[in-house]
Chains A and B, each alone.
Chain A
């Protein structure tokens, strides 16, 4: 039981996540600088500055209000949840629709599957993504296959599993994990991660109303930290559609959730060095939007993926592989992966473990630098490029394609080996 207690302490009123800096993130593309607490947009919907947990809470209020068959439940949900996401729901919608469950994740998800199979919207909460593993079988073998194995006679599409994930500054092994990649290997579920309050509300409502079982991982470090204007009305954002949140020419950065803030900082720093970065929020990891990433990489010729989860077998690997499949001849540098280290999540070493701004910035620079001699080629003309004194392709016979992959140290011999010798961590 001791572990159950430690699960709950320290997080609710925690202050330690300020290691990231107590700043307000710009998490939306609309760079609203309004300091007013409440504004009204041209479309007439009222906006209010709220943090992430309040945005989630708003979405849950709307979900329960708009569908009498919606239910919200999980450990400690009744009193508002350890992160306050479910605050006020039980009072408003009653204990039959918003309730505590016993401390048993496989029970929560299994119960939710049955509830969803009867045509309800079962919005279940796993208190921390680190504790989702007891429910792994229920998610992988049951929820994900429910429709398929019945030939579409039954489905549990009303199932949504919310879980806070990611680094929080003081979470150690069991309050910090990012388990998204495990679930991205499971056909039949959707995996969605928002980057901030406005996104969270719209994406969560989409998940709840999507006719497929959905996992919604919430960046817990941003629950209080991220504040932005969020429309108060009911709105949904599309799933399986990535969003370019910063346009650029030289390199594409792909990430999701809280990691985007570190990536955005790195983009700004890189800009000072004249490197123009394009930043993409993948938003939905499964099924993911390859087209947006592909179009961007074809434009920039370079890719960096970044996530908090360990690099080996992380979802970044899937993105890198897909980009290699689709954009190989347009890549001018090895794909860089700036991710968590291949260790358990370490308490005091968290600042070293994390793929922070500096690691990303260094990788941006080295990726761009390693192929800079070909930038000219990409943007001008293959023949001019081959005459360029620093172009690694110079001594090679003219090629029919635009340009082959530039390998930084390969000199005149060009072999398409984009990432084999590229250090993963800078």
Chain B
């Protein structure tokens, strides 16, 4: 192999290459020390002299040659390929399919809500808003779930167990940032000011639903809150996020895009397409993966073979971080830092938040059929992100039991009121069935609308009565 490699080097123009060899990073380490979360959290982590495998450089094919420090080889020679210069080696060595350690999880608070390292200070007001939003989300989920069980709405998706991901990531963003959600991030919308009434109106498909009753419950969207309407399709929003981020970059906006998805979503073609496009086009987009271990009934072990999702970032040439998804402060810090990097450095960032889907996939699912109840309960009781955050704010003397009980009672009443009000509103007019397919109604839809209206006049008793025409 050595001879072969040597002879091949003759083919390539080696002029000027030897001169750059001094810059080669020869510090390839075979054994990696385990990294502490503090190292991961430090802002210069990605730029320090950590092992090569951690260095996620900002490659661009035309710029690759400006990063000779990333080259390693046995020989002092480089081959010049279209993607940049590559060192040579006489050893036939396959890169391992995985590291011999797992990427650690960045954490700020331990299980008792005590800080274990440095983090960006969160003031009392923000902390309390985060906490009350998490509780509101939990209460809303509980009551809407019950409303579905009572047959008042057709469907619901809870975020139980992922409240910190929802609220803390939203808290770290600016209102100008654009959200391309999956369907388990209602809390992001809550943080931005979507009211309980607006949530209820969508779930009850009434005339006040912005989506005009066309989509299943929980498919929220809000133009004024920069929250792109949810679709049931998985991870299809990721490429959209990249295109939107490209637009922000072209407009030189002080804003980024964040898109959420689950671990299952990382198996889709759209995930690959989006992350690769984002890397190549250097767009300010945060890919936020909620790795909650379950895609309906499919466990993560049936989903992928890599060390979760975080390691994929490097494969696409983008920076990535793994965070504790049940630690609101860790998420707040990571998303805040990612946002800054995304905008200032015009680059995508991948965040993998490790968590657990405590609720069922949807109201159509009974997860006890495929996972032990004890496992669910352990996460619910021992790893609850809201409890952990409460410990921290109580430790700061920002919160007490009385406020807790008042918050839960008033939130419960507010949600119930919203449900009752939403139930009383009429359904959207039947005419809305035909609008918004195009900007205006084409002749075929005009014709079909006319025909339907005639049918409704002829057989009014055959159709739901609570719809105005």
Contact = CB atoms under 8 A, between A and B. Distances in A.
Interface of A: 96, 99, 101-102, 104, 106-107, 109-120, 122, 134, 137-138, 141-142, 145, 147-155, 157, 187-188, 190, 211-212, 240, 287, 290-291
With most chain A CB atoms within 10 A of its CB, the pick from B229, B272, B274 is B229
B231 A154 contact: no
Contacts of A102: 273, 276-277, 280
B279 to A, nearest CB: 9
A150 B221 contact: yes
A110 to B, nearest CB: 2
A281 to B, nearest CB: 18
Given A110-B243, A154-B229, 11 more contacts: A104-B272, A104-B276, A107-B242, A111-B274, A114-B245, A117-B243, A145-B231, A147-B438, A150-B211, A151-B210, A287-B438
Nearest to A155: B439
A323 B276 CA distance: 48
A117 B437 contact: no
Interface residues of B, number: 48
Given A106-B270, A117-B244, A154 B223 contact: yes
B301 interface: no
The 5 residue pairs across chains A and B that have the minimum distance between CB atoms: A110-B239, A114-B243, A107-B273, A114-B240, A287-B442
B382 interface: no
A101 B236 CA distance: 18
Most A CB atoms within 10 A — which of B180, B250, B280?
B250
A154 B439 CA distance: 11
Contacts of B257: 114
Interface in B244-276: 244-248, 250, 257, 269-270, 272-274, 276
Contacts of B272: 104
B312 interface: no
B443 A151 contact: no
A101 B278 CA distance: 10
B439 A137 contact: no
B222 interface: yes
Nearest to B253: A118
Contact of A113 (B178, B210, B240, B438): B240
Contacts of B276: 102, 104, 107
A211 B442 CA distance: 13
A154 B231 CA distance: 13
B247 A118 contact: yes
A111 B243 contact: yes
Interface string B226-241: 0011010100101111
A98 to B, nearest CB: 12
A212 B243 contact: no
Nearest to A124: B243
A110 B437 contact: no
A104 to B, nearest CB: 5
A115 B251 CA distance: 12
A227 B176 CA distance: 49
B403 interface: no
Contact of A138 (B178, B180, B236): B236
B277 A149 contact: no
